[in-house]
Chains A and B, each alone.
Chain A
Amino acid sequence: MTALLDGARAAAEERSGPGTGSGLARMLAVKIGSAAVTLFVVLVVNFWMFRVLPADPARNLARQTALTAAQQAAINRTFGLGRPILQQFGNYLAQTLHGNLGRSFVDQLPVTEKIGQALWPTVLLVGTSTVLSTIIGVWIGIRGGWSRGSKFDRTSTAFVNVLYSMPDFWLGMVLLITLAGKVALFPDGGMHSFAGAQPGFAGLRDLLWHLTLPCLVLTLVYLAEYSLVMRSSLIDELKADYLTTARAKGLRDDMVRRKHAVPNALLPSITLIMLNLGFVISGAITTETVFSWPGLGRLSYEALNAPDYPTLEGTFLLFSAAVIFANLIGDLLLTVFDPRVRQA
């Protein structure tokens, strides 16, 4: 009986591999730990990078707008620009850890408030288009890759190649001129009609009306990438021995595709999707500019022009954190989907 139990335990250990439970925990700890370290490095680099730039924000703003010397002094005083750089760095770290990203040099609004205002428009626009392009792109990739050389494959590949080579600002301008110009089927830009956000269904409809063109541009431009990656990784799998084995076992073609080919071919796409999701909040500067979309891309571009250090630091920190977080999730997802990663 004991021997039997021991045998069963040994068999279970063999199945699960030596030390898997603690190994998984360790792997998680390492991944989360390295993400945290990366984030801290970003925080440090973020501060010093902008201070290295030879710029006097108060003077720069002043030249554009003819501020008096006293006004410039007031800006410098408000933002502590005259203090020693180490003291500025200490203040920055302490403030950031308390969730305070400082105030904009330009309009003195809290950076968290500025980011908060721009976050939702960006998540709405880039998030929606990322989801749409992922679904459509992966679908086209699977369909085309599986029936490689078919009419659908040839047409879709040509189509997505054309989309892939299109700069988003160019496509945006073309759609804007054709559909929002004289025809005026869609608005010329912005997120709401001039009356501002309206409540209820009318407001939602107005928002969707404004969202359509920029979302269409980003979806079309993004889907090509997913489609091509999915198609080529599926084609790589097509000749794999395990597919022949699966077919030899008598599995239907659809089953072979769904159970064996797609899950393996999906791995590069998962990495790509997670990476792109991380970039969602950094916005799409050119598309946001073409369509006057009040998102984070536009905010960071404006801040760069000023230069508005606190806003830049805030947005860059957010962008970096989002990419680090999405990569972490991607890594963790891969361990779920790919046993090789788990075992490694």
Chain B
Amino acid sequence: MARSTFRIRLARLTAAGLAACAGLALAGAAPALARSSPPHHGPTTFVVGNTGAVDTLNLFNGFTSQDFEVYGLVYDNLMDYGQLDYQGSPRLATSWSHSADGLTWTYHIRHGVKWSDGQPLTSADVVYTFQRDTVPGSTEFADNEAYVGEIIHSSIHAVGPYTVVMQVRHFTPVMNRLIVSILPQHIWQAVTEKQVSGYANNNPVGSGPFIVSSFHSNQSITLRANPNYWGGKPGIKTLVFQRFDNPTAEKLALANGSIDFAEGLTPALWKSLRGTPGVTLINAPAGNWDELGFNNGAATVSGKPIGNGNPALTDINVRHAISYAINTKELVQKVLLNTGSPGTSYIPPVYTQFHYNPPASITYTYDPTKANAILTADGWKMGPNGIRVKNGKQLTLRLFVRNQSPEQEQDAPYIVGWLKAVGIGVTTTSMSDSVLTADIGNGQYDMFMWGWGVEPNPDFQLSTATCGQRSTGGPPNYTPGWSDSFYCNPAYDQLYHQQQGLDGAARAAVVKQMQKMLYVADNYSLLYYWNDTQAYRSDLFTGFAPQPDKPNGLYLYQEVSWWSYRCIRPVGTSPSLTDHNVGCQHELGAVTASAGGGVNGGLIGGIAAAVVALVAVALFMARRRRFAMADERE
């Protein structure tokens, strides 16, 4: 009795375990086994994979690039950055003008636009939005200050249902680029400023080309096309953004057709997709760069020196020598796998209007001989251990590397080697972003590696090198400003303020002059502009509107722009589906390639796995039987 009870109990436990495992496996495998098509999801559903996800649909709380990618599809901005030139381009505002003194601005609002709940969008909504966004100290103001900072709150008013007028304190080119999401007054008037940060907005009412149909915070979001969109009905019916924590899984998903677009792949994974049937790779220059930052002499805004930076770096010759000693081309080849270009000045080349391209005579091209000569002329003599010495002090610098950036961790050994070759000793320390931020703010560093993502409007990026962006407060923890090189030049600051009151070619000239100033001063050594490596299923979808242009423009995740989404359509459908849409005039032809592997691979794999599972279960049962018989014989 006891013996059989034990056996029964053991058998039950085993059976429960096996059943659970088998149940999981079979139930899990069932969809794959039952599938008769590739793991694709239907011809009019476009699935975008990314390593990030939307956290919140409250546009005042979101701050990730994935958040903004969705906000720009659900809400219309007053204007957009142009697809080809990054100039202010019409969206809800069809045209605009300003008074002769540049202080009064008039915007003409598009007729016939409806909110996704059917209500009409009028100038009242635009006035409401701008009034809401211009209350100083509010969450809304903080979120939009870069655009609305100069607008006088009390001046915003409507003139009829389709015209809005507002005044600014000083002329600013930003008024030609108001990338501000317009909100429906009838929804948001019920949400007070105090309630904003706690407002989920999970069913947003917008006027954009897509409408949210389901949302899983930090996982995935599904949007459906807005059939009544004023810019034309989008060419796809459903748009999904799916998060992948594991970029390898994202790559596999693109290769097997589970997703149609992959964003955020590492250069190595992106490159490994080459030759995958049906997949086209995009190596698109974007507004990003990484730099080797120098401590140019850390100080507070009032000029009081702080920190423990090596004074050698305040010597421009040492900085020049470092810049000449670094082989940025090799970094692009070895670390970025050719998905980028060597860096020079603050505003990336993708913004052609503003980028400063230094002439060859002053460009820091890799030249260790020149680096050695500069250091020798500067009085740094080679010491017996291969490290240069001046006035009894060795030229040894600390290099802080972010452990959250695999690329920068790869850069570090190259840089250490190149600097060692010219007699500069380097000790590297890997640290988290938060620790590095604090160290920089306190001026306790020599060199570091980090990067910037530059917007089409160069204002903010240029501001990071102004004197006013040095640290504030007092010891032991100073409050960091935006400046992490502590470069300070009153002439530069003067130009910065000058460009704020200009637009067009005049502004571009000043912006280039400022970049030249920084380049010559060598406050940073720009390592490279890194491209956005994207890939998509060109056998299934076409119609993209790359920014700034084909074939090497950004297909999706454009710089504060959303041109492609309205134009994407399944391969084989008529371009007329989308060609009347705003921004869809730059169509790409389909790259025809067969989608191999998916169906048969899946089916065969499924059957094979099922057979293996069955054989395993059978063998196990047979062994169990043998054990049982042996026990019974005893």
Knowing A70-B142, A290-B249, say if A254 contacts B55 (CB, 8 Å).
Answer: no
A219 to B22, CA, bound (A): 13
Interface size on B, residues (CB 8 A): 91
Contact B28 A109 (CB under 8 A): no
Assess the A184–B32 pair: CB atoms within 8 A: yes
Determine if A108 and B197 form an interchain contact, defined as CB atoms under 8 angstroms apart.
yes
Residue of A108, A193, A205 with most chain B CB atoms under a 10 A cut-off: A108
Q: Does B29 interact with chain A (Cβ within 8 Å)?
A: yes
A63-B433 contact, Cβ under 8 Å, with A139-B14, A187-B258: yes
When the two chains form the complex, which single residue of B64, B598, B631 contacts A254, counting CB atoms closer than 8 Å?
B631
Stretch at the interface among B70-78, B212-220, B327-335, B364-372: B212-220
- Using an 8 Å CB-CB cutoff, how does the interface string of B304-341 with A read, 1 for contact, 0 for none? 00000000000000000000000000000000000000
Query: Inside 8 A of A252's CB, which chain B residues have their CB?
Result: 2-3
A281 to B: closest C-beta gap in Å: 18
Contact with A along B254-294 (1 / 0, CB 8 A): 01101000000000000000000000000000000000000
CA of A188 to CA of B255, assembled, Å: 11
Q: Does B143 contact A (CB under 8 A)?
A: yes
Q: How long is the Cα–Cα vector from A187 to B6 in the complex, in angstroms?
A: 40
Known interface pairs A177-B248, A177-B252. Does A109 touch B220 (Cβ–Cβ under 8 Å)?
Answer: no
In the complex, residue of chain A having the shortest beta-carbon distance to the beta carbon of B597:
A182
Q: B164 interface residue, CB < 8 Å from A? A: no
Q: A132-B17, A139-B14, A292-B249 are in contact. Are A78 and B433 (CB under 8 A)?
A: no
B24 cross-chain contacts in A, Cβ below 8 A: 128, 208, 211-212, 215-216
Complex contacts, B480 vs chain A, CB 8 Å: 56, 59
Is the Cβ of A61 less than 8 Å from the Cβ of B63? yes
Closest to B143 in A: A71
With known contacts A54-B438, A194-B41, A195-B214, A254–B7 Cβ distance under 8 A: yes
Question: Is B434 within 8 A of A307, CB to CB?
Answer: yes
Q: How far is the CA of A305 from the CA of B248 in the complex (A)?
A: 21
Measured in the bound complex, the distance between the Cα atoms of B27 and A313 in whole Å is 38
In the bound complex, CA of A281 to CA of B46 (Å): 35
Contact of B602 among A132, A177, A184 (CB under 8 A): A184
Complex Cα gap A189–B246 (Å)? 8
Report chain A residues within 8 Å CB of B623: 152
Complex Cα distance, B256 from A189, in Å, reads 13
Residue interface mask A40-81, B partner, CB < 8 A = 1: 000000000000011111011101111110110110001000
| Inter-chain contacts of A59 with B (CB < 8 A) | 437, 441, 480
Complex interface: chain A residues within 8 A of B351 (CB): none
Contact in complex: B218, A294 (CB < 8 Å): yes
| Main DSSP-derived SS at the B contact region | helix
Please give the distance in Å from B25's CB to the nearest CB on chain A.
6
B residues near A194, Cβ cutoff 8 Å:
41, 47, 220, 222, 240, 242
Please give, as numbers and ranges, the residues of chain B lying within 8 Å of A231 by CB-CB distance. none
Say whether, besides A107-B55, A176-B246, A208-B27, A181 and B16 are in contact (CB < 8 Å).
no
Selected contact of A190 from candidates B6, B55, B243, CB within 8 Å? B243
Main secondary structure of the interface of A (DSSP, over half): helix
Which residues of B from 467 to 498 have beta carbons under 8 Å from A?
477, 479-480
- Shortest beta-carbon distance from B436 to chain A in Å: 9
CB–CB A205/B13 < 8 A:
no
Interface residues on A, range: 35 or more
Compute how far the CA of A173 lies from the CA of B453 in the bound complex, rounded to whole angstroms.
Answer: 31
| B532 neighbours in A (Cβ, 8 Å) | none
A65 touches B16 (CB 8 A): no
On whether A191 and B219 interact (CB within 8 A), knowing A109-B56, A181-B252, the answer reads yes
Which of A108, A136, A188, A288 has the most chain B CB atoms closer than 10 A to its own CB?
A188
A95 at interface by CB-CB < 8 Å: no
> In the complex the two chains form, is A109's CB within 8 Å of B434's CB?
no
- Taking CB atoms, residues of chain A closer than 8 Å to B47 are 194
CA separation between A325 and B222, bound complex, in Å?
39
Binary A-proximity of B55-83 (CB < 8 A = 1, otherwise 0): 11010011111000000000000000000
B605 located at the interface, meaning its Cβ lies under 8 Å from any Cβ of chain A in the complex:
yes
B354 contacts partner chain A, Cβ-Cβ < 8 Å: no
4 A-B pairs with the lowest CB-CB distances in the bound complex, closest first: A183-B605, A212-B28, A55-B434, A107-B55
Question: Can you name 25 A-B pairs with beta carbons within 8 Å?
Answer: A54-B477, A55-B434, A63-B437, A66-B452, A66-B453, A107-B55, A108-B197, A109-B61, A176-B246, A181-B252, A185-B602, A185-B606, A188-B258, A190-B220, A191-B219, A192-B219, A194-B240, A196-B216, A209-B28, A219-B21, A289-B245, A292-B246, A294-B216, A294-B218, A305-B432
Interface set of B (CB-CB < 8 Å, partner A) = 2-3, 6-7, 10, 13-14, 16-17, 20-21, 23-25, 27-32, 38-39, 41, 47, 55-56, 58, 61-65, 139, 141-143, 145-146, 197-198, 200, 214, 216-220, 222, 240, 242-246, 248-250, 252-253, 255-256, 258, 404, 432-435, 437-439, 441, 450, 452-453, 455, 460, 477, 479-480, 597-598, 601-602, 604-606, 609, 623, 627, 631, 634
